[in-house]
Structure 1
Amino acid sequence: MSNCAGIVKSGDFECTRPDLIIECAYNKLKISSTACVLTITKKRLYSANLGDSGYLICRGGKVIFRSPEQTHYFNAPYQLTILPEQMLNEKKSFLLDKPECSELREHELQSGDLILMATDGLWDNCHIGTIARLLYGDEDENNINDKEETQQPKISQASLQARCNSLALIARHLSADENYISPFTQRALKHGIKAPGGKPDDVTIILFQVS
């Protein structure tokens, strides 16, 4: 993602094509990585997402969209990969995903919308209802709603940071709870796999509000 950041800082990118940002960054890649890139222009959000990182859009206290994860099979997310020549010569089978595998979406935004981006360390450990409560307060556990609700009042930068910190802390706490029925546990059971408790992993979160 540091490669993506460098491209954006240079200003040499097309705002409506976040997938091209991923493609340019991919050419500098030395390891494997998931990628989630969002661009916003004129109240429209353009996304390119590859793997099990992702984002959600909140409006009026409700989660109105959650990006689906991309996996080859359970616990095997899509990842941008450039293998060293030595590994390529081993003639083994590898999952090699490229920028064009990214899922592209476009959303119309409203003033006050909250956009949350995060790695799988959040999604694997926090249910959507938990995330919504930390963002908005006490909301319904099944807090996904396709209806557009009243716009959220402007939130201060300090408050956005505090909510972001709370999400990261609760995700870290739940990841270490061996008795917790996590989203990862629930997905594993659907594949006939017992994986009780949280799933320790990196937690990176970005939270911002549309002005």
Structure 2
Amino acid sequence: MRNGSGVSFGVADGVGGWVDSGVDPSLFSQALMYHAHRYSRGAWAGEPEIDPALDYEEREVVEGWEMTPLECLGLAYGGVLRERFVEAGSSTACLINLNASSGMLRSANLGDSGFTILRSSSIIYKQPIQTHFFNCPKQLTKMPRSARKFRGAVIDSPDEAQTYETKLRDGDLVIAYTDGLSDNVFPVEIMTICSLAARSGGSEDEQVQTMADRIVDYARQCMVNYRRVSPFEREAAREGMFFKGGKIDDVTVLVAMVREVV
């Protein structure tokens, strides 16, 4: 969602283990993003009027009203719980606001989806993952009515999401993704792909689309490469577990480029 005041976007990744219980894991994550979009449509005020006589420092604090990603996540989760066609399921989630008036990024992340901020060919931030234990991310969950057979299921609250905010600069790249990327591709590789795509020419819209496409393509290649050490393999080794190569999974990537309009 975007308007003159800002842009809201996010990713969600349904937990595949529900397949063993006859539940389509994609329904929960799709419904979560549907409701996040629905609530974010009313999450921004119109672009605030700023008195040109104000000093620059005073202008910076004029943002207009903004629903935070954490608030949006809570509302979206409530919407999923009320959805009749979503019987059960669970999902990780990462929601991000980019405020056009202040240049602020605000985020809420639950689980092992996440985002990275690149600035001038450097990684200035990478969202830490949230897990209960190795390969078990924190997740929003809807239990079926016959919940007795699901004792021990992981149920987390939107309030447990990690929040973050920072001031962005002209030219920054914000890359949101599911763990199908972070389990298979190292941050420095993402940075290299984006740098090469930026030199490929075309409009800025075409460049960010190229970045997203190439990142996904590379992640898919890494998933089936068992000779290459993956981030997931390294993490498994830290936990004393054996795992070789890439981890096959679905992958979603969103790329946003920040531009300051004078």
1:168 counterpart (213, 216, 224):
216
The residue aligned with 2:18 is none
Q: How does 1:200-211 map to 2 (within 5 A)?
A: 200-211=248-259
1:199 and 2:252 aligned: no
1:92 and 2:173 aligned: no
Gaps of 5+ in 2: 1-32, 46-64, 81-85
The residue aligned with 1:110 is 169
More helix by share: 2
Report if aligned partners of 1:26, 1:80 keep a CA contact under 8 Å in 2: yes
User: Hey, what's the Cα distance between the residues in 2 that align with 1:81 and 1:98?
Assistant: 9
Identity of aligned residues (%): 32
Q: Secondary structure, in 3 states, of the residue corresponding to 1:135? A: helix
Q: Secondary structure, in 3 states, of the residue corresponding to 2:142? A: coil
Report if aligned partners of 1:16, 1:46 keep a CA contact under 8 Å in 2: no
Gaps of 5+ in 1: 139-153
2:236 counterpart (177, 188, 209):
188
Which protein is bigger by CA-based radius of gyration? Answer: 2
Q: Shift of residue 16 of structure 1?
A: 5.2
1:36 and 2:106 aligned: no
Paired residues, what number? 195
TM-score (norm 1): 0.87
Q: Which has the higher contact order (CA 8 A, sep 6+)?
A: 1
User: Hey, what's the Cα distance between the residues in 1 that align with 2:186 and 2:162?
Assistant: 23
User: Hey, what's the Cα distance between the residues in 1 that align with 2:250 and 2:79?
Assistant: 22
1:131 counterpart (190, 198, 202):
190
User: Hey, what's the Cα distance between the residues in 1 that align with 2:203 and 2:167?
Assistant: 20
> Compared with structure 1, are the counterparts of its residues 197 and 91 closer, same or farther at alpha carbon in structure 2 (3 Å cutoff)?
closer
> Compared with structure 1, are the counterparts of its residues 12 and 136 closer, same or farther at alpha carbon in structure 2 (3 Å cutoff)?
closer
The residue aligned with 1:17 is 68
User: Hey, what's the Cα distance between the residues in 1 that align with 2:230 and 2:119?
Assistant: 25
The residue aligned with 1:156 is 204
CA RMSD between the two structures: 1.9
User: Hey, what's the Cα distance between the residues in 2 that align with 1:112 and 1:129?
Assistant: 18
TM-score (norm 2): 0.71
CA deviation string 1:15-59 (max 9, x = no partner): 351101000110122421111000121101111000000001111
Q: Shift of residue 78 of structure 1?
A: 0.5
